[in-house]
Structure 1
Amino acid sequence: MGTRAVTIIDVAREAQVSRQTVSRALNGLPEVSESTRSRVLQAARRLNYRPNRAAQDLVRGRDVTIGLVVRDLRNPYYPQLASVLSRLAAERGWGVVLCDLGRDDADAEARLTDLLRRVDAVVGSVPAGLAGRGSLPVPVVALDTEPVGPDEPAIAIDYGPGIAAALEHLVARGRRRIAMVDADRTPSRRRLLYRAHLRRHGLAWDPRWEVVSEDTHSGGVTAAEVLRERCPEVDAVLVFNDVIAVGVLKGLTRAGVAVPGELAVVGIDGLDIGTLVTPELTTVAIDRTELARHAVELVAAALGSPADPAGGGRRVLVPTLVVRESS
């Protein structure tokens, strides 16, 4: 292993148990059999493992610091999530450090490395390849992305039911030519779900109705212009997220297009900004309080908290449709 510090992941692999079992065994929790505890302790000694301070702090009631990793803090989704996560962490006497990785992987590597020196666990999206992602020295709870490893805690977001509800709502309102504004040139999961629903229900689809936007408000304004020039026949649009959707609303207003009269708009994420525009934005909303609650519980379980002995594993969140004026 060279000079890299031995992690709890290494001990788990050596002892052929999960990381949660290693945490419980090292902290003397009763859920672990004596034979398993002995195997874990022997593996830790062989590898010269030094216990994670955070696991000991949890047992002793001391503070823990979580690092929340995001890709672009300009998107209000992340400040809103950070606010809820900070509140729930504070209820346990924990702190939260926010890390905006940005879009440059070289800078992201440095920022993540610095963060790992200051926190006991990470919540968020740690890109593959950064800081030896598979052997990070602290637990990582993956949010809406692939987990670090097969036994690692993660929270998946199942957009399928919410997107289906949005499209069914549009069809029920008489919309038959529904476009999609995506934030990825390679079709995102959200765009693939949009396509699959249209195909499954025999609804019209045209490749011209798929527009790629920058993941910004101004990108949404431009996307609205492209929609009107390329496919003026569409009567509804599903947008990758609420930030872009608010831009789409602005672009349509500038073009004199009545929303929802001529063209209905639906976003995804459920941000507060959707209620600050006119017309108010219909959205497929993610419950950020529930997301943060799952994250805190998974961190506690990964660190061996006696209060959360069985809280590890994978969680799934299902967004719901919130109908407002734009559709």
Structure 2
Amino acid sequence: MAVTIRDVARASGVHVSTVSRTFSAPQLVSAETRNRVLTVAEELGYRPNRAARALTTGRTHNLGLIVADIANPFFPPLIKAAQAQARERDYHVFVADTDEDPLLEQELIEMLCKQVDGVLLCSPRLSNRVIERLRAQVPFVVVNRRVKGLSTVLMDVGQGVRAAVEHLAALGHRRIALLSGPSGSWTSEEMHAAATAAADESGLELTVLRPNEPTEQGGLAAAAAVAGSGATGVLCYNDLVALGLIEGLHERGLSVPGDLSVIGVDDSLPGRLNRPKLTTITMPTAAAGRMAVDLLLAAVNAGDTGTPTLARLETHLIVRESTRAAGRVGAPLPA
């Protein structure tokens, strides 16, 4: 026979209501009692009935996680970390992919709001106005977008961009290009602002090419414009765009890093395996996933009435093989 909540209460020496609170509101139970109940529950093989608990508490113990493109290597580490963090807190995560489509994103949010206690939006493509309207249904936390009144986790891509521009300047590059991302992307705007400021400070000429699809195909399609820009150093929206650009330049008889230096963003596995290995800006995606879950659960427990939190995570440049001194293949590297 299935183990019941009464079995756990009897074996733990506590009331049934204490067992219920241990699983539905553990902060209301002393640490000693909570640990005893959880240990007994584990030994007996007891699993709480989520549907019954939802009826009692009004909580589903489910969270929604919406990403722009699940095939992009940027997102899986964030998803995995968020799921693990939620699981430790007795929550499950429903993951949805918008395929970079803001209309689909809105549809998914409206659907998930009926089934979850809160929603994480990662690099959303919706306007802030629409997000502010939708948040009336359940608490939201946003990753890589500033939205008034919402807790936010930002990966400070501007910090990495400034380091990337300074790296190109130190290698003797005087004309650089920025391959921006899709319209409506917070990351694109941050990169643009940081690259413009850093280029001005370093006395570099900056060409901004936008918008671009945040994919290898987007980088491939931009190769002709990059080749014609006169730039010798290129900073790309992400690693996928950088890899597509390298392929497109190769098709035009240009080598990386011999003719052009290329920098990506994300420090994804494809960039580390590529030849040349990609110089890139690392993004703390796993840390962002964990922090976003904690902020969302805080909002859920506060009834979405708490003060919004802004968490900013550091980024940094990783120098590999796709950047070198300005000039043709065979030019000596700086000492």
Shared fold per TM-score greater than 0.5: yes
Look up the match of 2:312. 316
Task: Pick closer, same or farther for the CA change 1:296–1:54 going to 2, 3 Å.
Answer: farther
Task: Pick closer, same or farther for the CA change 1:65–1:217 going to 2, 3 Å.
Answer: same
Unaligned runs of 5+ in 2: 1-24, 29-52, 324-335
Look up the match of 2:140. 140
3-state SS of the aligned residue for 1:165?
helix
Does residue 1:217 correspond to 2:216, yes or no?
Answer: yes
Alignment-mate amino acid for residue 165 of structure 1: A
Q: Distance in 1 between matches of 2:270 and 2:152?
A: 27
Task: Pick closer, same or farther for the CA change 1:165–1:299 going to 2, 3 Å.
Answer: same
RMSD: 3.0
Q: Cα distance, 1:279 vs. partner?
A: 0.7
3-state SS of the aligned residue for 2:257?
coil
Alignment-mate amino acid for residue 145 of structure 1: R
Task: Pick closer, same or farther for the CA change 1:129–1:212 going to 2, 3 Å.
Answer: closer
Alignment-mate amino acid for residue 190 of structure 2: R
Q: Distance in 1 between matches of 2:307 and 2:135?
A: 22
- Within a 5 Å distance, the mapping from 1:182-197 to structure 2 comes to 182-184=180-182, 188-197=189-198
Unaligned runs of 5+ in 1: 1-26, 31-51
Alignment-mate amino acid for residue 154 of structure 1: T
Look up the match of 2:7. none
Q: Distance in 1 between matches of 2:159 and 2:132?
A: 35
Report Cα offsets for 1:29-69 as digits up to 9, x if no partner. 89xxxxxxxxxxxxxxxxxxxxx9699588xxxx7222111
Alignment-mate amino acid for residue 321 of structure 2: E
Contact 1:68/1:124 (8 A) holds in 2: yes
Look up the match of 1:157. 155
Task: Pick closer, same or farther for the CA change 1:140–1:53 going to 2, 3 Å.
Answer: farther
Contact 1:99/1:112 (8 A) holds in 2: no
3-state SS of the aligned residue for 1:326?
coil
Q: Distance in 1 between matches of 2:80 and 2:157?
A: 23
Look up the match of 1:47. none
Pick the structure with greater CA Rg. 2
Report Cα offsets for 1:161-198 as digits up to 9, x if no partner. 21111111112222222111112468722122111111
Does residue 1:87 correspond to 2:88, yes or no?
Answer: no
Contact 2:215/2:240 (8 A) holds in 1: yes
Contact 2:80/2:286 (8 A) holds in 1: no
Q: Distance in 2 between matches of 1:325 and 1:103?
A: 30
Q: Distance in 1 between matches of 2:241 and 2:233?
A: 15
- Within a 5 Å distance, the mapping from 1:171-250 to structure 2 comes to 171-184=169-182, 188-205=189-206, 207=207, 210=209, 212-228=211-227, 230-231=228-229, 233-250=230-247
Report Cα offsets for 1:171-227 as digits up to 9, x if no partner. 22222221111124687221221111111222223x4x6354222211101211221
Contact 1:54/1:64 (8 A) holds in 2: no
Q: 1:112 aligns with which of 106, 109, 114?
A: 109
Q: Distance in 1 between matches of 2:120 and 2:137?
A: 13
Q: Cα distance, 1:288 vs. partner?
A: 1.2
Contact 2:166/2:198 (8 A) holds in 1: no
Alignment-mate amino acid for residue 153 of structure 1: S
Look up the match of 2:45. none
Q: 2:289 aligns with which of 287, 292, 295?
A: 292
Report Cα offsets for 1:286-308 as digits up to 9, x if no partner. 11121112112212221228xxx
- Larger deviation, residues 79-88 vs 174-183: 79-88
Task: Pick closer, same or farther for the CA change 1:301–1:54 going to 2, 3 Å.
Answer: farther
Report Cα offsets for 1:82-103 as digits up to 9, x if no partner. 1221122223332111112344
3-state SS of the aligned residue for 1:138?
coil
Identity %, equivalent residues: 30
Contact 2:158/2:190 (8 A) holds in 1: no
Q: Distance in 1 between matches of 2:258 and 2:56?
A: 57
